[in-house]
Structure 1
Amino acid sequence: MNFVLRILTNQRSFILKQARPWVEKYPQIEAPIERAAIEAQILKQIEQLPAVSSYSPQCLGFDDQSYILYLEDLGEGADYTFIYRREEGLSSVEVEGLTTYLSQLHTMGPDVADKFPSNIKMRQLNHEHIFRFPYSMDNGFDLDPIQSGLQAAAFPYKNDERLKERIERLGEVYLSPGNALLHGDYYPGSWLKVPNGIKVIDLEFGFVGPPEFDLGVFIAHAAMAALGKDIIHQIRSLYQSPSDFSSDLLAGFAGTEILRRLIGIAQLPLDLSLEEKKDLMRLASSWITTGRF
């Protein structure tokens, strides 16, 4: 989403990350440059909680004129999008680490709720591409170049008014105030595999909101990567839910994330046949409409 450089000197290496007023991967999509300030603030905020900060790069500085973050270099590594190719999954240790991170991050919500920016522009951008655009009949986005037959496979979901009403309500919850500090984009592209373990990056979508959203996104990507029911059960078991946590919202957000990744712009490198995608669409629709896994 951002312009990122690794800087190597004769003393050290570090990362420069600049927010520009568009999405780097999709330059036609505008994006608020203030996202860099949000990420800087979250990284500074989590320094007080080692259980969270140990997973993320240290923010070494922030230029609020050029919207450039100066970040710790976590070392050579790769993001976790390799799990979509089904060559390698997530170990129990990795699942535990990712779930613990989320549980601990979410506990910070009450402490920052009254002083943390709403990040409404980034949420509106996300809202459009999660809860609206994929289900528009005339969005102009042809799915067949991605996979032959995908456009027709998506049609029943774009035409299902009951499903779309439920997704619209979920979108309203997403935009409403919540009580947990969220990552906001908790999927394998935001996790790094480096020599000393797993790290979590790209917190520019963060805001204080419903914890069910982050966990739902996590579960959705476990399903799309075909990690199996046992991994999803492990995630749900390990996550330390707040007292008012809603399983109905969790299932709804998870299903919506699956659908938007299959029929929206933000496609993934999924190693799935058309029939497997159809199965996932049916599963996602069920999660959304019933509120149950």
Structure 2
Amino acid sequence: MIKLNNTISELNSYLQSKKWIYEGETILSVEKPGEGNMNFTLRIVTNKRSFIIKQSRDYVEKYPQVAAPLERVLREAEFYRLINDIPQLKLMMPDLIGLDKENSVMLMDDLGKGKDYSYLYQQGEVISEEDLLTIIFFISKLHNTITSNTVEKKITNKKMRELNHEHIFKYPYVEENGINLDEILPGLQQHANILKQDEQLKKEVLELGKLYLEDGTTLLHGDYFPGSWLKTGSGVRIIDPEFCFFGIAEFEIGVTIAHLKMAEQPEETIKKALRHYKNSCPLDEELCEKFVAIEIIRRIIGLAQLPLEISLEKRVELLKGARKTLLN
């Protein structure tokens, strides 16, 4: 397997071998397009255009010690192919230009130098109503139009789901998991330990984990949070559906709402997001709330930390609320 790097001469040779670069086209520069965790991703600027190249490896790019499915880029490519005939979805995502299955490499068009919505985690930042409704429109359109009734073959993505399951439903609750939460925020560890030692809570979490692993009827993005929403000069765009699978919508919407809560978005904004989604899609709100709770816990005490600016007191309040939701 070829392991790509950011050396222009080696990238040029690879792109030529795949016939992904035009005659007379030369690479001017390469850069990292964003703060993605999972894959080796580059923006390549040439004398004619710019494009994105992404390679998935058998580990997480940000955490090389964490093993990950090598073929995850291929599942992402399947997602792009499924949305290709739905103009409203296709418009909001990058076009797939090329796919090298042997080396797990994908070539996509460049959406431009936008920024993702992770800035919402900064204190005082509030998403605009227009952007929020666009983000909810995309996911409701996806859930409504691509189902087991409209496709011949479902994306199962079991290996990526198993990886995600470990880090959402198990790893945060292991007492000695190698994460010193006091290094993230002094005082957080003792509050995490309360959850780690709650056997009833852990049992409920594992039951929800079983639901996550079950195949469902609705195509999910799989990781629908501010890091997958891109603010560009052309409007909101959606990226990185590598965790995609056919599952239950309550998981997806639960994740989204959890991040709006952790980003301290106004309560009315969160209610509006739910109302907008429910206007076009069915939703079991009680089950959705449980997945909200799951996502809050794993992001505050698990490995996949966010650039949160909320205080220890606020994090503890969110953890207590999540625990109460899961035990009710």
Pick one of 176, 193, 211 that aligns with 2:249: 211
Aligned to 1:122: 160
C-alpha separation in 2, matches of 1:89 and 1:44: 33
CA contact (8 A) 2:155 2:244 kept: no
Deviates more, 1:170-179 or 1:106-115: 106-115
Higher relative contact order (Cα pairs below 8 Å, separated by 6+ residues) = 1
- Where structure 1 has 5 or more consecutive residues not aligned to the other structure, the ranges are none
Q: Which residue type is aligned with residue 247 of structure 1?
A: E
Aligned to 1:259: 297
Q: Which residue type is aligned with residue 139 of structure 1?
A: N
- The Cα offsets for residues 252-272 of structure 1, whole Å up to 9 and x where unpaired, read as 111100000000000000001
Q: How does 1:131-142 map to 2 (within 5 A)?
A: 131-142=169-180
Report SS of the residue matched to 2:261: helix
Aligned to 2:28: none
- The Cα offsets for residues 15-71 of structure 1, whole Å up to 9 and x where unpaired, read as 001111111111100111111000001011101111211111111111111111110
C-alpha separation in 2, matches of 1:43 and 1:209: 17
How many pairs align?
A: 289
C-alpha separation in 2, matches of 1:167 and 1:253: 9
- The Cα offsets for residues 218-265 of structure 1, whole Å up to 9 and x where unpaired, read as 00000000002111101110004644x322210111110000000000
Q: Which residue type is aligned with residue 39 of structure 1?
A: E
C-alpha separation in 1, matches of 2:174 and 2:95: 40
CA contact (8 A) 1:192 1:198 kept: yes
Report SS of the residue matched to 2:42: strand
C-alpha separation in 2, matches of 1:42 and 1:140: 34
- Where structure 2 has 5 or more consecutive residues not aligned to the other structure, the ranges are 1-37
Pick one of 70, 75, 81 that aligns with 1:33: 70
TM, length-normalised to structure 1? 0.95
RMSD: 1.3
Aligned to 2:109: 72
Q: How does 1:40-189 map to 2 (within 5 A)?
A: 40-107=77-144, 108-111=146-149, 115-189=153-227
Displacement of 1:277: 0.7
C-alpha separation in 2, matches of 1:212 and 1:122: 19
TM, length-normalised to structure 2? 0.85
Following superposition, which runs of at least 4 residues in structure 1 exceed 6 angstroms of deviation? Answer: none
Displacement of 1:109: 1.8
Aligned to 1:12: 49
C-alpha separation in 2, matches of 1:8 and 1:41: 26
**Alpha carbons of 1:24 and 1:96: their partners in 2 closer, same or farther (altered >3 Å)?**
same
Report SS of the residue matched to 1:110: coil
Aligned to 1:195: 233
**Identity across matched positions, percent:** 44
Displacement of 1:110: 2.2
